[in-house]
Structure 1
Amino acid sequence: MIIVIGGGPAGRMAAVRLASAGREVTLLEQRALGGQCVHDGCMLVCGLNDVARAIRNTEFLCGCGVAAGSVSVRYPEVMRSLEKVQARLSEILERETLEAGVKVEYGVTAEVRDGRVVVDGVVREAEAVVVACGAEMYVPDVPGADLPGTYTARTIRSMPALPKRMAIIGGGISAAEFAYIFSAFGVEVMLFARHELLSILPERMHKAVRRDLSSVKIYEHHALERVLGSDAVSGVVAGGETFACDAVLFATGMRPSSPHVSGVQKGKDGSIIVNERMETSVPGVYACGDVTGAPYFTPVSRLQGFAAADAILGNPRTVDLSRVPFTVVLGLDYTVCPTAGETGMTFSSPNIAGPGSMWHVSDGSVGTMELTVAPESGKIVGFASSGPGTGVVGTYLGYLVRKGVTVHEFSPMLEVHPIPDGLYSMIRFAEGHLEKK
C-alpha cells in the first residue's frame, strides 16, 4: 500500500500515476480534490477575472462608440455560481482519480511521524508515503490582522457583499490580480506593496500593468503596520500613513503546510527538503508540490507529483526548475519565461493585433513582447509577452526554450492565424538579424 496525503495537483498526479502502474494507492484528503488551485487559487481567479474582463471590455467598446449600455457585477451570485463550478471541477477530478484505481478517503486527519503514517490516531502500514499537503495563506503578524472584514483568497467567499473601499496587501501576482478584479467590480481599491509591484515582470511590461490597474491606487514601499478597527475593519496603517477602508484582503504569499509532518528535514519556512528523487531525509517518505516550498505554481506541483511517483516505481526523473514560465492575469495576460541568468541579445516591440485585442489598436494597448537570444548559437534563452491568451503560447514555447531550441530551428514553423501574439514573427526577425551579423 502506498499512502498519498493531499489531493491537490501534486498528490493527485502522484496517486494516479502510481495506481495506473498497478500499485495499491490510498489518497487522504481533508476537504475535496483539486487543492488550492481549484478552490482558492487559479480557478477562483479565473472565474472572477472572466467577469471583471467582461465588464472592462464592455466599458472599452462603449468608449469606442461601437457598443452602448452598461454592465455591473452581482457579487453574491458570482460567488455562489463560482462555488458550483468549483464543486463540479472537483467531481470531475474525483471521477478521474477513482477510475485510475485510487482509493480516496475524505475528512481524515493524517500525520507522518518519523516515517510512520498516523490516520485519525491509528498507525497505518505503508511501503511508501507521498506528502503533498500543500501550503497555507500567509498573513503578516500585525495588530488587527484577524479583525472581521479581513480576508485571504481562502476566505474571500465569506465576504457578504462588495465593500466600498478595500485595501489589498501584497506586491505579487495574486495581489495584482485581485486588485484588477475588485476595481472592475466597482470597489475603490488601494494596493499596498512592501517593495515594487510585480518586480518579477520585465520593465517594459510595467506601463501596460499600470494601465490595467489605472483605477487602483497603488502605494509601493508601504509595508503594512496595523489594521484599524474594534469590531470591524475601519482602516490600515501602511508606510507610516493612515488609510480608511472597510475590508482588507491579504495577498501576501504562502507558507508550506507541514506541522503534521515530523522527523524529516525542513527549511526555516517549514518546507520539506527533498532530493532529486523527491525523497525526504527519511527513506520511503516522499514530498512534492507546495509543501516543498517555492515556486508555488500548479504546473510545478504536477511535475513533482509525477516525479515522486516515478521514483517510487523505480524510474526516477529530475524536475528542472531553472526556467518556470508563469502568467499574470489582468486585462491582458503577462507571460514570462525567465532567462535563468543567461545573457543574450534582446529584441522587443509592441505585440500584434488579433482576437481580443483588435479594437485596442486604437489606443495602443495590444501588449508588448520581448525575446532574448544567444547571438552565437541563436538559442532562445527567454521571452516575455503580454496580450490576450499569451499563456497558451508561453506553455509550448517555454517547453522549446527548456529544450534549447534556436531561432533557426523555430523559424519555419507555421502559425495559426489570427492570434494576438507575435512571438513567432519576432523569432523570424531575430533569425534574420543574426544572419546579417
Structure 2
Amino acid sequence: MVVGEITEDKDIVVIGGGPGGYHAAIRAASLGRQVTLIEREDVGGTCLNKGCIPSKVFTHFAQEFKKTKHLKEMGMEFGEVVANLSSLQNYKNKKITQLRAGVESLCKASKVEIVKGSASFLSESRIGVENGHEFSLFNFKQAIVATGGELQYPDGIEFDSDRVLKEKEIFQLEEIPEELIIYGNDYISLEVATIFSILGSRVTLILNGEFPFDSAISKELFRQLKKQKVNVIKNSTLQAASQAEAKVTVSMDKGNGEIVSIEGSYFVASGKVKPNLSDIGLDRLRVELTEEDYIRTDGEGRTSIPNIWAIGDVTEGPSLAVKAIKQGKVAAEAMAGLQVEVDLQFVPTVVQMSPPIACAGLTEEEARRAGYSVTVSENPVRGNGYAQLTDEKDGFVKVVSDSETDLILGIHMMGMGAAELITSGVLGLEMAARDEDFRFPLYPHPSMNESLLEAVEGLKGDAVHMPPRKEELAR
C-alpha cells in the first residue's frame, strides 16, 4: 500500500450485484444499515443481464409463437406469422435495460451505495476495489460474498467461432439455426431445445447424464421431445466440437469406444457452475471451504470468519437465483440480529420449456430410498377442462405421499402454469401438509389448479376425472 492512501470506513460491503447481492443490500439498508454494493459489471448480475431474463424472453416468445395455430383455430385472423430474431433481440435488450434501471433505482431509493470495480479481500476487515486505473480501500464491519459462479465446459470444444456457443450466447442469435446441436441435460439445455424446435430448427440434444427429475417426469419428457421432433442421443460423452466454414462437427463417445460424429449449423454447450472465488483474495483469509471448494456457511450464511457471510453460487446447493435471493435476505436479517435461517429442502425446480416443468420435494425414488411407505398419484392434464379449452393438454401432476401418515413428500408437474402452481406445492411441503390439507380448500374453476387437487384426491382413489384404479389381483 502506498503511504498516504485514503481508506474509507464502511458498515456492510456486498461483493457482487446479482440477485442475491442486491437483495441482501436492499434488505440490509431497510434494516437501518449503511450498505456499499460492489459490482464489476452490471447490477443484476448474470441472471438479469445474460442468463435468466434473456432466456425467459426466448421461452416466452416460443410459447406465444406456438399458440398461433390454436388462436387461428379459434377464429383469430392474421397473416403469416414469422419469427424475427432481430426484433426479438431488440425487445430483449430493452427489457434488460429497463429491469437493470429498476434495480439501480431501488438501490438509490434505499440509499445503497453502488461502487464499480473488482473487489479483493486484503484482510478480515479490509477490502480493495480496482476499477481501471483507480484503486480504493475500504475498512468494513461486515461483508457478504455474492460473486456468483463461473461456468466450466468439457475439453475439446473450440469456442473461438461464431457457431460453437456457450449457453448464454445462444440468446444473442439473430437467425434461427437450421440445425442446432445441444450438449447437456439441465434446464437450460431443455429450454433451448424446445425453443428452437418450436421456431423451426432441426434439434439434436446430446445428453451427458440422466435428467434430474422424478422418473415419471423424465418418461413424459422423452415423449414430449419426440413429439416436438427433437432427436435425443443418450449416454454419450462429448469428445470435440469445432467449426469449419458454415458447419459445426461434433464428435462423441457412445460409451463402448465407438466415436460418432454429427454435423449441424450451430452447436451450444451447457456448462457446470463452479464458485467464482479465484480473484477475490480469499487465500489471504481463514475462510473454510468445502471439499468442492464452495464457501462453507451456517444456516444464516455466516462463514468461518464471524463478520463475513456468503450467499448464492459460492455456497453449496442448487445454482439457482431463488436460492441466492433467499440467502441474501436471510444474511441481511441475521446481521441485524433477527432469528432467521435458510432451509433448502424444498427449493422449487422450474424448467420454462414447452410444456413447463416444476418440481419440489422428494421424487418417488428418493422417498422409497428414504424408507417411506410410498403412495403416488398422477393426474393427466388432458382431463382438465381449462387445459382442453386452451389447448394446453400435455403434461400431468404427480403427488408423492407417505401412506402411513398421509404426509405429502413431493409434487412434480409438467404442463402450462406449472411454474406458478408449484408455489402451492412448496407452501404445503413447508407446512408439512397431509393430503386432507390439500383437499379441504376450494380451488378456482375452471383452472389448471384443479389438476393439483385431483392428483391429491387420486391418492385415495377419489378423483372424479380419473378412471377408477384397477383392483390388484389377490395373491
Given candidates 317, 323, 333, the residue that maps to 1:294 is 317
Cα pair 1:370 1:383 within 8 Å, conserved: yes
CA offset at residue 349 of structure 1?
A: 2.5
Cα pair 1:332 1:388 within 8 Å, conserved: yes
Unaligned runs of 5+ in 2: 1-10, 254-258, 464-475
Given candidates 373, 379, 382, the residue that maps to 2:401 is 373
1:407 and 2:416 are equivalent in the alignment: no
1:285 and 2:316 are equivalent in the alignment: no
User: Sequence identity, in percent?
Assistant: 23
Provide the TM-score with structure 2 as the length reference.
Answer: 0.83
Deviations 1:60-93 (A, max 9, x none): 566x686676422101111121111111111112
Structure 2 CA distance, aligned partners of 1:244 and 1:190? 10
Provide the TM-score with structure 1 as the length reference.
Answer: 0.90
For residues 370 and 305 of structure 1, do their structure 2 counterparts lie closer, same or farther at Cα, with a shift above 3 Å needed? same
Give the counterpart letter for 2:452 in structure 1: L
Given candidates 258, 266, 278, the residue that maps to 1:247 is 266
Given candidates 187, 204, 210, the residue that maps to 2:223 is 210
Deviations 1:307-352 (A, max 9, x none): 2112211224221112222121221121111227443211112124
Give the counterpart letter for 1:406 in structure 2: R
Partner of 1:119: 129
Q: Secondary structure at the match of 1:226?
A: strand
Given candidates 94, 110, 117, the residue that maps to 1:100 is 110
CA offset at residue 23 of structure 1?
A: 0.6
1:29 and 2:39 are equivalent in the alignment: yes
Structure 2 CA distance, aligned partners of 1:37 and 1:410? 33
For residues 48 and 209 of structure 1, do their structure 2 counterparts lie closer, same or farther at Cα, with a shift above 3 Å needed? farther
Unaligned runs of 5+ in 1: none
Q: Secondary structure at the match of 2:302?
A: coil
Partner of 1:135: 149
53-62 vs 298-307, which moves further: 53-62
For residues 4 and 232 of structure 1, do their structure 2 counterparts lie closer, same or farther at Cα, with a shift above 3 Å needed? farther
Structure 2 CA distance, aligned partners of 1:250 and 1:229? 14
Given candidates 38, 48, 72, the residue that maps to 1:38 is 48
Cα pair 1:166 1:188 within 8 Å, conserved: yes
Give the counterpart letter for 1:430 in structure 2: L
Q: Secondary structure at the match of 1:18?
A: helix
Partner of 2:425: 397
Cα pair 2:89 2:174 within 8 Å, conserved: no
For residues 203 and 397 of structure 1, do their structure 2 counterparts lie closer, same or farther at Cα, with a shift above 3 Å needed? closer
CA offset at residue 158 of structure 1?
A: 4.2
Given candidates 330, 335, 347, the residue that maps to 2:358 is 335
CA offset at residue 360 of structure 1?
A: 3.5
Structure 2 CA distance, aligned partners of 1:122 and 1:232? 47
Partner of 2:375: 345
CA offset at residue 144 of structure 1?
A: 2.0
Cα pair 2:378 2:458 within 8 Å, conserved: no
Q: Secondary structure at the match of 1:279?
A: coil
Structure 2 CA distance, aligned partners of 1:93 and 1:354? 40
CA offset at residue 235 of structure 1?
A: 1.2
Structure 1 CA distance, aligned partners of 2:415 and 2:307? 45
Cα pair 2:248 2:267 within 8 Å, conserved: no
For residues 220 and 146 of structure 1, do their structure 2 counterparts lie closer, same or farther at Cα, with a shift above 3 Å needed? farther
Partner of 1:426: 455
316-325 vs 422-431, which moves further: 422-431
Partner of 2:234: 220
Q: Secondary structure at the match of 1:349?
A: strand
Cα pair 2:89 2:172 within 8 Å, conserved: no
CA offset at residue 270 of structure 1?
A: 3.7
1:259 and 2:288 are equivalent in the alignment: no
Structure 2 CA distance, aligned partners of 1:383 and 1:431? 16
Q: Secondary structure at the match of 2:167?
A: coil
Structure with max Cα Rg? 2
Give the counterpart letter for 2:201 in structure 1: V
Cα pair 1:58 1:70 within 8 Å, conserved: no
Deviations 1:110-140 (A, max 9, x none): 1124423111143310000001111123222
CA offset at residue 233 of structure 1?
A: 5.6
Q: Secondary structure at the match of 1:314?
A: coil
274-283 vs 128-137, which moves further: 274-283
Cα pair 2:182 2:203 within 8 Å, conserved: yes
Cα pair 2:360 2:426 within 8 Å, conserved: yes
For residues 280 and 84 of structure 1, do their structure 2 counterparts lie closer, same or farther at Cα, with a shift above 3 Å needed? same
Give the counterpart letter for 2:36 in structure 1: T
163-172 vs 113-122, which moves further: 113-122
CA offset at residue 227 of structure 1?
A: 1.1
CA offset at residue 39 of structure 1?
A: 2.0
Deviations 1:248-271 (A, max 9, x none): 212233222111231322345442
Structure 1 CA distance, aligned partners of 2:97 and 2:217? 39
419-428 vs 203-212, which moves further: 203-212
Q: Secondary structure at the match of 1:227?
A: strand
